[in-house]
Amino acid sequence: MANENRVSLADAIAALRSEIRIAAARAQSLPESERYKITEAQIELTVVAEDSADGSAEVGWWILKAKAGVAAKDSITHKVCLKIGLGDVEVGSAQDTE
């Protein structure tokens, strides 16, 4: 499977953390009435376990990008649900959240 069709599980989790940090930073400029707190993020991913190419005993976990559907037909996929504790992060929205 080509690397451009997949993202490592570690990179996907890091990207989620980054997006949460960006949302929290943006919330600081919003009025308090447009902010809300999140304490947990949950993400469900479809992943593929794949032996390393160099023959070592390591297994890599990859998330297939949407356009990789054809490649996924040749792989056994697994659903992984992760809950990430965030503490008490304040994010916001200009839209009514109630």
The answer as to whether 35 is a domain residue is yes
The answer as to whether 66 is a domain residue is yes
Highest mean pLDDT (candidates 1-10, 39-48, 60-69): 39-48
Per-residue pLDDT tens digits for 39-61: 888 888 888 877 655 566 667 78
Report how many domains make up the chain. Answer: 1
The answer as to whether 68 is a domain residue is yes
DSSP annotation string for 38-80: EEEEEEEEEEEEEE-TTS-S-EEEEEEPGGGHHHHTTS-EEEE
The answer as to whether 82 is a domain residue is yes
pLDDT at residue 73, rounded to an integer:
54
Domain ranges, residue 83 = 3-92
The answer as to whether 56 is a domain residue is yes
pLDDT higher than 80, residue 4: no
Share of the chain above pLDDT 70, in %: 70
